[in-house]
Structure 1
């Protein structure tokens, strides 16, 4: 049986060492990339939690302002509905606070901000009467819902 030449064994060993070093290098890069990705995911999760807390705080502020009569029922309903939708609450929460969703939906056709300012005074008055009627109809339900919102996190 013929022995392998020594130089061939040295070349083979050198190739194996080089391949091991290259594999180690890429393994290190992969590990660093995974660590960075995990840190970014943690930062995103923290940012999402912070945003959720801010939205929950906003809901609490609006509910308290509604109970203290510092904000109109229609405006509070629209804002609370938008905030709950931003939190992507489940259907059970939407059902529990249906007064806000219903009032917001029934007043959705009423112009706001700049569009409101462009309306004639007569048209504004008609919309104000419509809002007053709806607010009277849903007031007790909405105030009860606002009371149940206080201290809750969604």
Structure 2
């Protein structure tokens, strides 16, 4: 039987120990990175939930204001549609509140803000008549939808 030299066993043990230390170092580093990543993910999820809550609150405020005649039906419809889309609601919800989507779609070509102010008064009047007609056609549906929105969270 051949006898292994002792120095060879010591060198092998040192190499194994060194590799174990390196592996332990990288395992610890990986563990710290995973913990940090989990914390960041939790922060992002909380921020997303907070944003979702703010958007839901905005929808509630607009619906309540619409029901109290504090905002026009066209403006409320456009805002609610944008907010629902920002929440990426399901098609079922879009169908339930189709009145807002329809009004927003039918008035989407009308200039807003600065572009509205730059229009001649005659064109503004034409668009106002068009909005009034769309609002008259869909008012009952939109008001019912606004009542159904109250108290809901998307």
Query: In the alignment, what sits opposite 2:13?
Result: 13
Displacement of 1:2 in angstroms is: 1.5
Structure 2 unaligned spans of 5+: none
Q: Which residue of 2 aligns with 1:25?
A: 25
| Residue 46 in structure 1 maps to residue 7 in structure 2 | no
Unaligned 5+ segments in structure 1 are none
Q: How much does 1:64 deviate?
A: 0.2
- Equivalent residue for 2:104? 104
The alignment status of 1:57 with 2:62, answered yes or no, reads: no
1:1-154 matches, within 5 Å, as 1-154=1-154
Q: Tell me how far apart the structure 2 counterparts of residues 117 and 110 of structure 1 sit (CA, whole Å).
A: 12
Aligned length: 154
CA RMSD of aligned residues (A): 0.5
In structure 1, distance between residues paired with 2:2 and 2:77 = 91
TM-score w.r.t. structure 2 length?
0.99
Q: C-alpha separation between the residues in 2 aligned to 1:118 and 1:19? A: 74
